[in-house]
Amino acid sequence: MLPAAKCFCLLCSVLINLEFSEATETKSSLFKLWYGYILDIPTGSTTEVGGMTVSMCVFHCLGDSHCRSASLTLSTQRCVISSVDSFDSSVAIIPDSDSVMIQLWPEGGLYDSWTLVFRAQAGNFLSVYDAWTNDDLKHGFPWKSDVPIGCTQFKTDLPCEQTFRSAILSEWEDRNISEVKVVLYKDGVQQHYIIFNGSSTNMTGWFSPHGILSTTWNNPQDADFFSLEGTEIYLGYIRRFQMYGPHDGCPTDYGWMVVVDAPMDDCSQYLSVTPTWPRFMYSVDAGPVTWSVAGSAVGYADILAVFVKFS
């Protein structure tokens, strides 16, 4: 190659890198790239273009108002853009060393203008409450490289070995949080949610029956025990994020949701029947469920996610 041409190419790649770092750092992250993954997207929501580099594929997606995510296969230069987000339950993210996946990240927040601040996973032996209150656990916001892709998803097929906890949690009272949404997911699909008023609240006080703005359950404000801190009945028996009760003896206890945040619960026959913890138990129907009925009326979510909106 002629020295001049080589020099031009180097400059080219430097320019592209500059554009990337500007887009990601100064414009509140318009998109995020993950190397080593390809999206498996339902047909009908994709278009494909050949002869693309990573930057061309990114700009192609940015320039198309329907594009939400994309993936580029490096060896074939094939860029597939999609109108569905990478975290949609219909999409699979597959490890592929020859590909890069791209997710658009609008300034208003990624998940329908909600910002994810917390993601806990059932059965990983990590206390949800310890993570929630641990100020040393601060993942970057917007997501930086310290957040594995699995922690941005509501399925569990890609690894997320920590609990995701945004640095926003540690700044709760200074962040002008207007709404807080708790969502339970199973197989990547939302099962139930509850939205609270976040104005003038602290990191734990927002989870209150007085702050409910909307929910998929009927009347959870009627629960006798309604708090994030929950009850430590005695050491080792710990319920958090609870909308529970009355407690009249285990067989009659009912509730809307509870995080069983320890290996065993006081009502072990009903609330610690799985070999792993934490357990995100909920009433599948709109009303409360009596835990002892078990079966399909009692749900076990895979993921508990908390999102916020800012005023």
Interface positions with ligand NAG (CB under 6 A): 174-176, 197, 199-200, 202, 204-205, 213
Please list the alpha-helical segments (H only) found in 26-96.
Answer: 54-62
Question: Rounded to the nearest whole angstrom, what is the least distance from the CB of residue 180 to ligand NAG in the complex?
Answer: 11
Q: And the tokens for 100?
A: 């890069």
CA–CA distance, 87 with 137 (Å, rounded to integer): 23
Of 145 and 202, the one with the shorter C-beta distance to ligand NAG is 202
Question: Rounded to the nearest whole angstrom, what is the least distance from the CB of residue 199 to ligand NAG in the complex?
Answer: 4
Residue for token digits 């922690």?
151
Question: Rounded to the nearest whole angstrom, what is the least distance from the CB of residue 206 to ligand NAG in the complex?
Answer: 8
Question: Rounded to the nearest whole angstrom, what is the least distance from the CB of residue 164 to ligand NAG in the complex?
Answer: 21
Of 5 and 174, the one with the shorter C-beta distance to ligand NAG is 174
CA distances in angstroms from 111 to 86, 92, 145, listed in the order given? 11, 17, 19
CA–CA distance, 120 with 10 (Å, rounded to integer): 43
Dihedral sign, CA of 193, 292, 224, 302? negative
Of 78 and 175, the one with the shorter C-beta distance to ligand NAG is 175
Of 77 and 197, the one with the shorter C-beta distance to ligand NAG is 197
**DSSP state letter for 209:** G
CA–CA distance, 85 with 77 (Å, rounded to integer): 21
Question: Rounded to the nearest whole angstrom, what is the least distance from the CB of residue 173 to ligand NAG in the complex?
Answer: 8
Question: Rounded to the nearest whole angstrom, what is the least distance from the CB of residue 242 to ligand NAG in the complex?
Answer: 16
Of 94 and 137, the one with the shorter C-beta distance to ligand NAG is 137
CA–CA distance, 274 with 280 (Å, rounded to integer): 11
Of 90 and 176, the one with the shorter C-beta distance to ligand NAG is 176
CA–CA distance, 127 with 118 (Å, rounded to integer): 13
Q: How far apart are the first and last CA of the chain?
A: 56
CA–CA distance, 290 with 117 (Å, rounded to integer): 31
Instruction: Give the nearest residue (CB) to ligand NAG.
Output: 205
Of 136 and 174, the one with the shorter C-beta distance to ligand NAG is 174
Question: Rounded to the nearest whole angstrom, what is the least distance from the CB of residue 28 to ligand NAG in the complex?
Answer: 13
